[in-house]
Amino acid sequence: MSNRKLNFSAGPAILPEEVLEEASHAILDLSQTGIGLLEHSHRGDSFGHIIESAVRGCRSIAKIPDNFHVLFLQGGATLQFAMVAANLLREEGVADYLETGSWSKKAVAEARIYGRIHISGSSSDSNFDRIPPQNSLRPSSNPDYVHYTSNNTIFGTQWKEEPPCPPNVPLVCDASSDIFSRKLNIEKYGLIYAGAQKNLGPAGVTLVIIRDDLISRVDRPLPKMLRYSTFAETNSLYNTPPVFGIFMMDRVFQWILREGGLDAIETRNNKKAQVIYDVIDESHFYQGTAQVDSRSVMNITFKTSTPELDKLFLFEAERNGFHNLKGHRSVGGMRASIYNAFPENGCKELAKFMQEFSAKRG
Amino acid sequence: MSNRKLNFSAGPAILPEEVLEEASHAILDLSQTGIGLLEHSHRGDSFGHIIESAVRGCRSIAKIPDNFHVLFLQGGATLQFAMVAANLLREEGVADYLETGSWSKKAVAEARIYGRIHISGSSSDSNFDRIPPQNSLRPSSNPDYVHYTSNNTIFGTQWKEEPPCPPNVPLVCDASSDIFSRKLNIEKYGLIYAGAQKNLGPAGVTLVIIRDDLISRVDRPLPKMLRYSTFAETNSLYNTPPVFGIFMMDRVFQWILREGGLDAIETRNNKKAQVIYDVIDESHFYQGTAQVDSRSVMNITFKTSTPELDKLFLFEAERNGFHNLKGHRSVGGMRASIYNAFPENGCKELAKFMQEFSAKRG
């Protein structure tokens, strides 16, 4: 694996090498059963142990209390955009949404299929370059829930802490791009969901952590696969689950625990981001595109002074082994996605390359 | 891979060894890109080539005409049970369902969320031991579509040809457990869907082949992930797709083509099933649980004279390297699932073991 490139992809993204090695073997033969991971019945003991271990690993990482379920679904965050409202938004109710980028907007659009949505805060006026400040928020008096996107991959912004949420109102979070990147107090939440393909595993499996009282909150006619209760009542085994994704998630959970858990992961992630933000802040050559107090630790978005120079930067970066640094078209410039599995050393190497590039071209 | 067991699992099930080898390598490094399969952006060229190749392979195998789309979804057949009705069943319409087992029943239950369902044929009276004969069918005069399950894994039955369907009425098929196991005239269908985990790849990806005029047939408020149009308009890339499953499907498609396509696969599958059915028919020791003219080529269900003897059979089979032969609890006895990737030689070995067991215990 020595010739692996430095991959700054925003997702699907880099995964821990040792987990990839485990998957590579398990596909041919799972734990010396003589049958490959993908070929075992999902009702058999071999997969049973995997999914139990995944739930246990998840609970252990985030110290999840007993009154929460850990579920594995399909359809990514996009299906959760609809499911959250379908399962939590009452006929005559309203839900508050904090609009901080493309993903929040999509979440709102899907939720509107099921009821009334109130945008209780937004940074759309400044092209989502910040998390809306607390004094700008306009919550409803008694929403069915408050929904926010903890990290915004495209705009490089991240909530430093949970947005305000009245007591007894469930806080719902799309944590797809920063789950388990830092300490997490699960008791503040009613529901957290995350597509796996940034910090948890491969695309094709979605983690849902949901408080028990929310599982069957609203009773509207819904397909089985759109009800949280279907998954809660069957330990995520109502139908054949995404076996490979759950296996990978289990191994990533074990990796997180071996690395020292969320405390250690958070410390390392902060250091990783800091070396790159330091180069941006110490130079007049680079500008961060997100407001300083809203900066993401997962996705670092920055520009040079011109689109032409950005292009040259990306070209030379690629040639020097730094891959997938191109920013999203709605922001332009560069984006370095440095999720949990991205190595600290890779961040230092990028910082050094950025300094050299600015010295040469600045 | 020499110590791989003979795995008769009903699904997830055995996959071609050479495909597993390809996946095992690609996870570490996809086509010498220096980035693993699971870590490439789904918007990049590397995955772009994979999904294009998968569509092309699928089209080539089944000679799919240009007026059909090939789509990759999530949620298995279970989500399709709901999506078919949500997208094809009109407000005031009715859909005909042929009830041939547990999966058809689940399809009916989900479809009823969206409108009126008529059971136009059923074999529930005889615990689904047969495909309903043509003269027992009671079709509606002008249904929005006719839905059937081509192969019934639990009961070991299979439609030998498509059920009758009036011209201009789309025929919809859940082909999860026998897709690409035999020749297929796609022009007879409006829509075919299949969860991957029997003949196509790993659990977590669903193949949908849909005629273009059905893609946006009904306009009701639906989540993006429940609309065929979402997938048709974006080449299955509206959100991050199940990358690994699509890669595997592509490789399985290439394997089918290398094996000689559906003609060759069908011939081999018939031979594989025949050697086992021959043992059943030539003995008084074993009884097939499905009526002879309804027998499945994919799942062979049979019993001995007592549950105790079945248990002994399963115990000795397991000890002799024949795995996962236990029948579903609603039928009892044994079930040998011998999907496309199950080797012909394994069928001969099972036949031999069955003969030896009956000689000893009969």
For residues A134-155, give the mean pLDDT.
Answer: 97
Confidence check on the interface: ipTM exceeds 0.95, yes or no: yes
| pLDDT score for A1 | 45
- How many other C-beta atoms lie within 10 A of the C-beta of residue A255? 19
Candidate list A129, A144, A174, A178, residue with the active-site label: A174
Annotated active-site residue B5? The verdict is: no
| pLDDT score for B3 | 73
- For residue A44, name the pLDDT band (cuts at 50, 70, 90): very high
| Listed residue (A26, A10, A78, A57) closest to A243, CA to CA | A26
Q: How far apart are CA B279 and CA B283, in angstroms?
A: 6
Candidate list B96, B174, B178, B310, residue with the active-site label: B174
Span B163-175, pLDDT tens digits: 999 999 999 999 9
| Beta-carbon pairs below 8 A across chains A and B | 210
Q: How far apart are CA A143 and CA A117, in angstroms?
A: 9
Cis peptide before A12 (omega within 30 of 0): yes
For residues B92-104, give the mean pLDDT.
Answer: 97
Contacts of B39 in chain A (CB under 8 A): 7, 9, 12-15
Shortest distance between the Cα of B107 and any Cα of chain A, in A, equals 10
| Partner residue opposite A243 with nearest CB, options B12, B29, B323 | B12
Residue type at position A292 = V
**Per-residue b/e over A33-60, b at no fewer than 16 CB within 10 Å?**
bbbbbbbbbbeeebbeebbebbbebbbe
DSSP A206: E
Tell me the average pLDDT of chain B.
97
pLDDT cut 70: percent of chain B above it: 99
Shortest distance between the Cα of B134 and any Cα of chain A, in A, equals 31
- For residue B2, name the pLDDT band (cuts at 50, 70, 90): low
Span B334-344, pLDDT tens digits: 999 999 999 99
| pLDDT score for B362 | 79
| pLDDT score for A4 | 85
Are B4 and A203 within 8 A, CB to CB? no
Per the CB < 8 A criterion, the answer to whether A346 and A186 are in contact is: no
For residues B233-252, give the mean pLDDT.
Answer: 98
- Say whether pLDDT at B80 is over 80: yes
Span B245-277, pLDDT tens digits: 999 999 999 999 999 999 999 999 999 999 999
For residues A13-36, give the mean pLDDT.
Answer: 97
Q: How far apart are CA B283 and CA B307, in angstroms?
A: 18
Span B134-149, pLDDT tens digits: 999 999 999 999 999 9
Contacts of B82 in chain A (CB under 8 A): 223-226
Tell me the average pLDDT of chain A.
97
| pLDDT score for A2 | 53
pLDDT cut 90: percent of chain A above it: 98
Contacts of B40 in chain A (CB under 8 A): 9, 12
- Say whether pLDDT at A257 is over 90: yes
- Say whether pLDDT at B350 is over 80: yes
Q: How far apart are CA A216 and CA A350, in angstroms?
A: 48
pTM of the model: 0.98
Shortest distance between the Cα of B113 and any Cα of chain A, in A, equals 6
Identify the bridge partners of residue B192 per DSSP, sorted by sequence position. B173, B209
Annotated active-site residue A103? The verdict is: yes
Are B203 and A243 within 8 A, CB to CB? yes
- Say whether pLDDT at B17 is over 90: yes
Contacts of B81 in chain A (CB under 8 A): 223-224
| pLDDT score for A3 | 73
Candidate list B198, B272, B303, B326, residue with the active-site label: B198
Q: Per the structure block, which two tokens stand in for B21?
A: 């080898």
Contacts of B24 in chain A (CB under 8 A): 24-25, 27-28
Strands of A257-313, DSSP E: 287-288, 299-303
DSSP B124: G
Residue type at position B102 = S
Span B189-212, pLDDT tens digits: 999 999 999 999 999 999 999 999
Shortest distance between the Cα of A10 and any Cα of chain B, in A, equals 7
Question: What is the residue-wise DSSP string for B207-274?
Answer: EEEEEGGGTT-------GGG-HHHHHHTTT-SS---HHHHHHHHHHHHHHHHTTHHHHHHHHHHHHHH
| pLDDT score for B117 | 98
Domains of chain B: 17-258 (3.40.640.10), 261-361 (3.90.1150.10)
